[in-house]
Amino acid sequence: MQATELGRAQPVTPRALTGGDYKTLGLAALGGALEFYDFIIFVFFAPVIGHLFFPAAMPEWLRQVQTFGIFAAGYLARPLGGIVMAHFGDLFGRKRMFTLSVLLMALPTLLMGLLPTYESIGVMAPVLLLLFRVMQGAAVGGEVPGAWVFVSEHVPARHIGYACGTLTAGLTAGILLGSLIAAAVNHQFAPAEIAGYAWRVPFLLGGVFGLFSVYLRRWLHETPVFAEMKQRKSLAAEIPLKAVLRDHGRAVIVSMLLTWMLSAAIVVVILMTPTLLQKQFHITPETSLLANCVATLCLTVGCVMAGSIAGRVGAGRTIFIGGIALAVCYYAMFQQFTVDTSSLVPFYGVTGFLVGVIGAIPFVMVKAFPPVVRFSGISFSYNVAYAVFGGLTPIVVSLMMKSDPMAAPMYVGTICILGALTTFFIKEAPQR
């Protein structure tokens, strides 16, 4: 049976998911969650890190700029790390790069937790912090597309949507884990204790858990798709990225535009909204963070559901309807809060659930590139787009808010509509 729309019936092996498939999904999602935890835990302790890793005499605004500059360096390093890992993943195997990305994330996170401060080693402290942050960025640049490719090439074709949604849910669970660990540390320790030593605890935990994830991934096997290509000697005969840029321009553009939608949903709705709620509607930090945890939990559920629905009715329909629903709900939430904020938690939870539409986006990218250059195609499109759009989004929204208090929902709504329109240009590549 031939597909009429992306994600609908495929010429597949009619088998259900096996125990081995669930083990692969579980280990992949666990590793992804721990990697995202390691990558974002920095931002929760940025104020403390700024005071410890820069001179005491430095102006506060400059310290903050340099601290977040180091945080942003991780995003800028994502394309380079992702492209390099994808290159070798397309030539030498998915599993090797999939395991390497976790190791490359765990080690710098562990070393961050052990790093001497500016008071001990001077300017080398921020230099080493920057180096470790770049290593983290390179690792997550390889992990995310690598994980999508890995799970999609392991499961039966009719379950690829569910697999991609589950993996994406694991990544978002890492954000929730980081938020909960940061809240626990701030609740358990006094500010002086956090500045003295307790800020190191989340990094040390992340490093240890990451190394444990490396150990667990040794039980994974190379994907059947790559093994077949290797057996048939049909691996890329040239640099994979060269073939991607030459032969798959449409897939790259579609993937980048959908990544823009993904980054807007995560960066604005999940990461920026708690601060916006505090500033615009005078909601307490405790209440806004609680609502954010609920929204992020609903997001993980939404990712699995969106991926599953995409596998049944088509990714295009799922993203179109889900994107429009997210745009409407997020705008309505802000409109409601100008009158009454009592419905914050349930309203934000529903909005977070609709952000889960991003769980269908990796399904589009997996199907948009043929297996021989799939890793490189997804990695280039996703990482370059996320570095550009994810990095510029907070700046653009902040500037827009100077003249329009509804800037955040207007921005998200515009990008969601763009993402919905992009679904009309989705095209599936030959899968052999």
| pLDDT grade for 341, boundaries at 50, 70 and 90 | confident
SS3 235: coil
Question: Can you give the pLDDT at residue 230?
Answer: 66
How is domain 22-235 classified at the architecture level of CATH? Up-down Bundle (1.20)
**Alpha carbons 6 and 307: distance in angstroms, whole number:** 12
Q: What is the mean pLDDT of residues 225-230?
A: 68
Q: Would you say residue 1 has pLDDT above 60? A: no
Percent of the chain scoring above 90 in pLDDT: 36
Whether the domain at 22-235 and the domain at 239-432 fall into the same CATH topology: yes
**Alpha carbons 282 and 360: distance in angstroms, whole number:** 34
More confident residue, 350 or 396: 350
- Please give the model's pTM, rounded to 2 decimal places: 0.84
The CATH class of 239-432 is mainly alpha
Average pLDDT, the chain: 85
Q: Would you say residue 12 has pLDDT above 50? A: no
* Greatest distance between any 2 Cα atoms in the chain: 69
**Domain residue spans of the chain:** 22-235, 239-432
Between the alpha carbon of residue 115 and those of residues 128, 132, 203, 211, the distances in Å are 8, 10, 10, 18
**Alpha carbons 407 and 415: distance in angstroms, whole number:** 12
Least confident of 186-200, 346-360, 384-398: 384-398
Question: Can you give the pLDDT at residue 13?
Answer: 46
Question: Can you give the pLDDT at residue 116?
Answer: 94
User: Both tokens of residue 356?
Assistant: 């889960």
pLDDT, tens digit (0-9, with 9 covering 90-100), for 105-153: 889 999 999 999 988 998 899 999 999 988 888 888 888 888 888 888 8
Please classify residue 28 by burial: count the beta carbons closer than 10 Å to its beta carbon, then call 0-12 exposed, 13-18 middle and 19+ buried. Answer: buried
Whether 259 and 415 have beta carbons less than 8 Å apart is answered as: no
Q: Which one of 90-104, 115-129, 277-291 scores highest in mean pLDDT?
A: 115-129
Q: What is the mean pLDDT of residues 44-71?
A: 79
More confident residue, 72 or 125: 125
Question: Can you give the pLDDT at residue 9?
Answer: 44
**Alpha carbons 190 and 29: distance in angstroms, whole number:** 33
Q: Would you say residue 352 has pLDDT above 90? A: yes
**Alpha carbons 359 and 168: distance in angstroms, whole number:** 6
Question: Can you give the pLDDT at residue 366?
Answer: 94
pLDDT, tens digit (0-9, with 9 covering 90-100), for 150-195: 888 888 888 899 999 999 998 889 888 988 888 888 888 888 998 8
